Structure 1
Amino acid sequence: MKHFFATILFSLSLVSSVVQAQDVYMPYNQDTYHLIDRYQIKYGNQVPQLHTNVKPFGRRDVAALAETVAPHAQHAVDQFNTQYLLNDNWNYTALDSNESKKPILNYFYRNKTDLYHYENKDFSVRVNPVFHGELGLDNQIPDYFQFTNTRGIQLEGSLDGRFGFYTFIGENQVRYPAYVVDRINRDGVVPHEGYWKYFKGDQGYDFITARAYLNYSLSKHVEIQLGHDRHFIGDGYRSLVYSDYAPPAFFLKLNTRVWKLHYMNLFQELTADYERGGDDLLLPKKYMAFHRLGINITNNFNLGLFESIILSREKGRFELQYLNPIIFYRSIEQMLGSQDNAMLGADFRWNIRNRVQVYGQLMLDEFLLREIKAMNGWWANKQAGQVGVKYIDALGIPNLDLQGEVNIIRPYTYQHIDQYTNYQHYRQSLAHPNGANLYEFIGIVRYQPMPRLSLVGKAIATQFGQDLVTATDTINWGNNVNLSYGLRPSTYGHSIAQGISTSQLHLDVTATYQFRHNVFMDLKGIIRNTNATESSLSRNSNIVSLAFRWNIPQRLNEF
């Protein structure tokens, strides 16, 4: 399959004749992307080519947005943030102020953003170290510190004005809070990561994180990308379509942007299952074919339609008919007589008066109108919905940004017959990290009182139903995507939050100080209360931590 994708990439490159400079992508970081989000709401009608529903964003688009914001940035914080975005994307703008006054040994940090860089008319490269050191205390595990120790390197650049490339590799040792260990014990995998092993007995986890891609502009409007990375679809804090919760996966992506349209095709090779102890065995494969069409109906209103197929053929083969980038996959599925997992839906984003954004998603895993109208709790009424609001400079206070979001996911959504067709990769959900069978309410307050200091408070309240899994019995109430819907207890009578009733409140307050470009210190406090009707599943945690980060986002486990 990888050789097949590579052949496509090579063949298309040969037939391309009208090419613009490549566009490397800005690594996805929720804190940095909030700045982009903020300024897109305030000034995005002047930069309509930035479709915020598909992440990550190209550096060229981010630089263009920052150039639009720069003349309007009157407040010191906005000036600082705008200059940060310009400097971080210095090779796509002439408005950066990135020259370093004191290079180290004349070779290192010749600009403010990169440990080392080189650029001429044919080639550019940026090299940066990556480090994340964190210590914390969890009242549930008082005998030792939780910690994170990540060391790595990030490299990106361009060649001949046509190819862009990016590589990140990091080596990690992590000791998690107790609630994360509960998730690891449930699913057998480390959240967000692939292969792992124990560190210091069974007190910590050791793993390597790697992401890389090569992208090429086929024409002025079409770009192709091949690599191993994560993606995120939507404008919300959560995505009910495709999130960055699961580990990176091999992919081929085509982005077509013309007029008011953005059309994305994404083909991925996923890992269907993972069991520790099978280190010498090839892990089973499955595949995803996904596409989304977005249109800017006006400069401040975007509407998107999407669909996806999860499939697997005998001996790990891909179904070549799903390479068709235009036709509805559901019609292909019916013609094949297959039992592939098909999903479709829509999303929208509406910016109002350069101050408020209303957004949402609707995802249909299964839909039968007569069963909806019957209101009898048919198990296959598998749908998910999201609606949210962002309020920029709230109440007239500069750089006080608020966000509220509601997510509702019916039982058995994302589940399927087995691991070869369910909506997961490496035993981790491709959409919401908590799976399904839930109501969720999210409130976020972000305040930047001075240029280098950011304060963020989050409250995530979830009502959900857990599945009953014991050594002798499994009753699937529709929460865990890894379970087969064949294990459900009945055909009718299902409702959201059924099963082991659980109420969970996750509170997070974080103060982040940026010492220099992409060098951060985080002071974090988490209060997390989980109350379930099954007492062994209840847990009340109080966690405090201090972290030092260099060219890497926070490691968040908000499930």
Structure 2
Amino acid sequence: MKKIACLLLLLALAGTTTLQAQDTYVPYDPEIYRLIDRYQILYGNQPIANEQRGLHPAVRPFGRKDVAALAEISARNAQTSVDQFNTEYLLNDNWNYTDQESNNSARPLFNTFYTNRTDLFHYEGRDFVVRVNPVLHVEVGHDNQSDGIRYTNTRGVQVEGVIDDRLSFYTIIAETQAKFPEYVVRRFEQENVVPHEGWWKRFKGDGFDFLNARGYLNYNLTKHVEIQLGHDRHFIGNGYRSLLLSDYAPPSFFLKLNTQVWRIHYMNLFQELTAKYRRLSQDVLFDKKYMAFHRLGVQITDNFDLGISETVIFGRRKGRFELQYLNPIIFYRSIEQAIGSEDNVTLAADFRWNIWNRVQLYGQLMLDEFLLNEVKAGNGWWANKQAGQVGAKYINAFGLDNLDLQGEVNIIRPYTYQHLDNFRNFQHFNQPLAHPIGANLYEAIGVVRYQPIPRLNLTGKAIYTKYGQDEYSATDTINWGGNVNLPYTLRPTDYGHKIAQGNTTNQLHLDLNASFQLRHNVFVDVKQILRRSDAEINSFDLNTSFTSFAFRWNIPQRLHEF
């Protein structure tokens, strides 16, 4: 796959002559993307001058050019000091794609650093733009179930830029040493991986040391088609969770094509994934598998979007990629049948409906397996594997400026995302590609966000999850359909399955956070997490209270919400 991706990129670079300016992407930070969501709901149905393209909110991350265009619309409409501050933030953060920023620095350092307000160092020439920024996350906290201070210490650098208005690039590299709260350590013990991360090593007893590196190249093949190659995460959907593809698992190698014409957005995503992570004393090449994903999104009206997508996950002997899945405009199921494979194909739909420039309704439906007769029978057939989501966002709730509410319900049937082996299940590096808990669950999420003054954000989250854990003995594992790493052949029966079966667990996760922006992309956070988890079988004392204080610079919060 790497050879194919490189060949496509080289052909693009060699064969294209007259192109539009190309942009990098806004690094995925849920809190920053919350602002983008807010102004897309408030003003997203207004036309963008001289543009055929627009922002398609269900495919994330977003291009900086699209975000800058949205911020320009917001700048013309913002009425409160908070909205003016947020709009100025978005304009300044994407300064090289707008002429409406107010980004001049009053006191540059040594006439070289911070010559604008956003970047430690930048250079803007006729044919070349580069931005260089430090990355820092220092957090200390206390967990009632752990001994000693819990902390996170991340240091790194990110670099992005554009060459000849055609080729854009982005890279970030950061090293982290951390000691996590006990509930995160228990998740590590379950999967033998640090949540969200790849390779790791032990650090000072109960700590972890790991490196995070992401990067990509982005290039326009034509005015309406772009190609992207690199290592990164992706998120599909408008919700707090994604049931199709989320940012929970580690970054992976990918090739992406984006086609955007009129009201249509079509994305092809090809990823190389790690089938199974095994930590051994010597270096061993991990087994590979692949994912091919395509989604057709249509803006049916100015405020209603509909997306239809298909995914196939597969593995071949010696890590070979199935070349037929490279066809960007074919039904994957037909290829699967034509080659006689048992690859894992899923179908999905998602929608987003903005109402009165104040409310957004959204949802997803994913079909892993589906037989209508078995659904009608209502007898709990194991292979009726589906997942559904419905949610709503309410902007300036009850007439109170800058009070935003979000509610969401997720339902995932047992054995969804599982398959015969690790080469076809919905995981990467032992971690789920969609919902972080896996499957076999009901979930209700409520989020309250309030920004009383420009630099202060207050957020409260409540996540209630009822899910079924597997049952373990000294000699056997009963697979009740929640752990995506297990093969569905370990199921105890073919019928009688219901959601949250097995070791039924009720879990409540509360998160209260106050975040103050000292200067552009420099934040101070105070956080309180309260968790309660009750399982029917072998229930432990899992009542957690974790209090933390953090300093962040050009990096999002590290969230462990599972």
Superposition TM-score, scaled by structure 2 size: 0.98
Moved more, 517-526 or 46-55: 46-55
Provide Cα deviations, 1:27-53, integer angstroms capped at 9, x if missing partner: 000000000000000000115711000
* Mapped contact 1:16–1:219 kept (Cα < 8 A): yes
Give the C-alpha shift of residue 295 in structure 1.
Answer: 0.2
Could you tell me how far 1:5 is from its partner in structure 2?
1.0
Aligned equivalents of 1:368, 1:538: Cα separation in 2? 41
- How many angstroms apart in 1 are the aligned matches of 2:500 and 2:103? 52
Choose which of 212, 230, 233 in structure 2 pairs with 1:230: 233
Aligned match for 2:326, one of 316, 323, 328: 323
- Equivalences for residues 415-434 of structure 1 within 5 A: 415-434=418-437
* Code of the aligned partner of 1:18: T
Provide the C-alpha distance between the structure 2 equivalents of 1:511 and 1:137, rounded to a whole number of angstroms.
Answer: 17
CA deviation map 1:101-123 (0-9, x unaligned): 00001000000000000010111
The one of 513, 517, 526 aligned to 1:510? 513
CA–CA distance in 1 between the matches of 2:2 and 2:180? 34
- For residue 57 of structure 1, what is the aligned residue in structure 2? 62
Q: Tell me which of 200, 204, 223 is aligned to 2:204.
A: 200
Aligned to 2:545: 542
Q: Does 1:499 align with 2:502?
A: yes
Partner of 2:397: 394
- For residue 116 of structure 1, the aligned residue among 102, 112, 121 is 121
Partner SS, residue 171 of structure 2: strand
Deviations for 1:456-505, whole angstroms, at most 9, x for unmatched residues? 00000000100113442100000010011010000000000000010000
Q: Distance in 2 between matches of 1:390 and 1:469?
A: 40
Q: Give 1:58 shift.
A: 0.1
Quote the Cα distance in structure 1 between the aligned partners of 2:55 and 2:43: 11
Aligned to 1:353: 356
Question: In the aligned structure 2, how far is the partner of 1:366 from the partner of 1:56?
Answer: 29
- Within 5 Å, which residues of 2 pair with 1:244-263? 244-263=247-266
> After superposition, what is the alpha-carbon deviation per residue over 1:311-332, rounded to whole angstroms, capped at 9, x for unaligned?
0111000000000101110011
Aligned to 2:171: 167
Is 1:137–2:132 an aligned residue pair?
A: no
How far apart are the structure 2 equivalents of 1:217 and 1:486? 45
Q: Distance in 2 between matches of 1:17 and 1:332?
A: 35
Superposed, which structure 2 residues align to 1:30-429 within 5 Å?
30-46=30-46, 47=48, 49-141=54-146, 143-201=147-205, 203-277=206-280, 279-429=282-432
Q: What is the aligned counterpart of 1:456 among 433, 456, 459?
A: 459
Cα separation, 1, equivalents of 2:432 and 2:472: 18
Q: SS of the counterpart of 2:19? A: coil
- Which residue in 2 is equivalent to 1:551? 554
The alignment covers a number of residue pairs equal to: 557
Q: Distance in 1 between matches of 2:438 and 2:169?
A: 33
Cα deviation, residue 278, structure 1 = 5.0
CA offsets per residue over residues 255-290 of structure 1, 9 Å max, x none?
000010000000000000011115411000000000
Whichever residue aligns with residue 428 of structure 2, its letter is: H
| Deviations, residues 189-230 of structure 1 (Å, cap 9, x unaligned) | 0000000000002x1000000000000011110000000000
What amino acid is the match of 1:71?
A: R
Q: Give SS of 1:535's match.
A: coil
Deviation at 1:546, TM superposition (A): 0.2
Deviation of 1:345 (Å):
1.0
Q: Which aligned pairs between 1:522-533 and structure 2 lie closer than 5 A?
A: 522-533=525-536
Structure 2: distance between partners of 1:345 and 1:456: 31
Instruction: Say which SS state the counterpart of residue 45 (structure 1) adopts.
Output: coil
Shift in Å at residue 241 of structure 1? 0.1
Instruction: Give the SS at the match of 1:166.
Output: strand
Contact between 1:363 and 1:384, CA under 8 Å: does it hold in 2?
Answer: yes
Contact 1:223 1:256 in 2 (8 A): yes
Pairwise CA distance, 1:448: 0.1
Query: CA separation in 1, counterparts of 2:275 and 2:24?
Result: 30
Q: Partners of 1:549 and 1:236 in 2: how far apart?
A: 25
Query: 1:409-454: CA deviations, max 9, x gaps?
Result: 0000000001000000000000000100000000000000000000
Look up the SS of the partner of 2:13 in the other structure: helix
Change (3 A) 1:411 1:217: same
Q: Distance in 2 between matches of 1:178 and 1:242?
A: 27
Residue 174 of structure 1, CA deviation: 0.8
Greater mean alpha carbon deviation, residues 66-75 or residues 1-10? 1-10
SS in 1 for 2:269: strand
Change (3 A) 1:347 1:442: same
SS of 2:373's equivalent?
Answer: helix
Percent identical across equivalent pairs? 67
Does the CA-based 8 Å contact 1:18-1:218 persist in structure 2? no
Amino acid of the residue matched to residue 486 of structure 1?
A: T
Contact 1:17 1:218 (8 Å CA) reproduced: no
C-alpha deviation, 1:10, in angstroms? 1.0
Matched residue SS, 1:121: coil
The answer to whether the 8 A contact 1:532-1:538 is kept is no
SS at match of 1:67: helix
**AA in 2 matched with 1:31:** E
Distance in 1, matches of 2:336 and 2:528, equals 48
Shift in Å at residue 12 of structure 1?
Answer: 2.8
What amino acid does structure 2 have at the position aligned with 1:499?
G
Matches of 2:72 and 2:464, distance apart in 1: 38
**TM-score (norm: length of structure 1):** 0.99
Deviations 1:505-533 (A, max 9, x none): 00000000000000000000011000001
Equivalent position amino acid for 1:28 in 2: Y
Q: Provide Cα deviations, 1:115-140, integer angstroms capped at 9, x if missing partner.
A: 00001011110000000000001101
Deviation at 1:16, TM superposition (A): 2.4
Partners in 2 of 1:165 and 1:517 — Cα distance?
A: 22
SS of equivalent residue, structure 2 residue 25: coil
Q: Structure 1: 5+ residue runs without aligned partners? A: none
CA drift at 1:535: 3.0
Structure 1 residues 196 and 470: CA distance shift in structure 2, 3 A: farther
Partner of 2:16: 16
Q: Is the 8 A contact 1:251 1:267 kept in 2?
A: yes
